[in-house]
């Protein structure tokens, strides 16, 4: 493998769309997805990274930051992280999360958070192995 991690570009939208659709087990409206993607790429508080093996896009991770009163500083939250199934267990997730950790250090985040669906037990173990602690519950109300 010849792995590289790089910031996402506008032309990467199809790969990111495919990954997020698989991650969420949902087909999203591509036009709406693309508008949000381009909007977020222009936001200095949104950071998107892609993993490549040669020319093949094999993974994606994102972190969004915001200034929160209850932390009296900048907080980052990992929004999405995905590695193609055939590449899982090969260190790709570790490389992607290291890119997010570098953003957190560079931008002086007070904390870096992540929420993972209760059913993703392997994901929970992965994040804990990277030093993220399960300190909170997340409660959700949907508006569809």
User: In this predicted model, what pLDDT tens digit does every residue of 23-64 receive, in sequence order?
Assistant: 999 999 999 999 999 999 999 999 999 999 999 999 999 999
Cα distance between residue 73 and residue 55, in whole Å? 38
Give the per-residue SS3 of 103-129: HHHHCCCCEEEECCCCCCHHHHHHHHH
Rounded Cα distance between 7 and 110, Å, is 22
> In which residue ranges of the chain is pLDDT below 70?
none
Specify the pTM: 0.93
Which residue do the tokens 């909170």 mark? 136
Helix, strand or coil, per DSSP, at residue 23: helix
Predicted local confidence at residue 144, as pLDDT: 83
């Amino acid at each position: 493998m010849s792995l590289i991690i790089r910031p996402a570009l506008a032309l990467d939208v199809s790969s990111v769309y495919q990954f997020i659709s698989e991650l969420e087990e949902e087909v999203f409206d591509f036009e709406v997805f693309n508008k949000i993607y381009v909007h977020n790429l222009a936001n200095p508080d949104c950071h998107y990274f892609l993993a490549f093996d040669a020319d093949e896009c094999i993974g994606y991770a994102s972190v969004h930051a915001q200034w929160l009163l209850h932390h009296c500083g900048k907080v980052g939250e990992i929004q999405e992280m995905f590695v193609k199934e055939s590449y899982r267990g090969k260190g790709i997730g570790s490389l992607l999360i290291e890119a997010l950790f570098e953003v957190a250090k560079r931008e002086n985040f007070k904390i870096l958070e992540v929420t993972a669906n209760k059913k993703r037990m392997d994901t929970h173990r992965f994040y804990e192995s990277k030093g993220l602690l399960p300190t909170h519950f997340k409660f959700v109300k949907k508006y569809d």
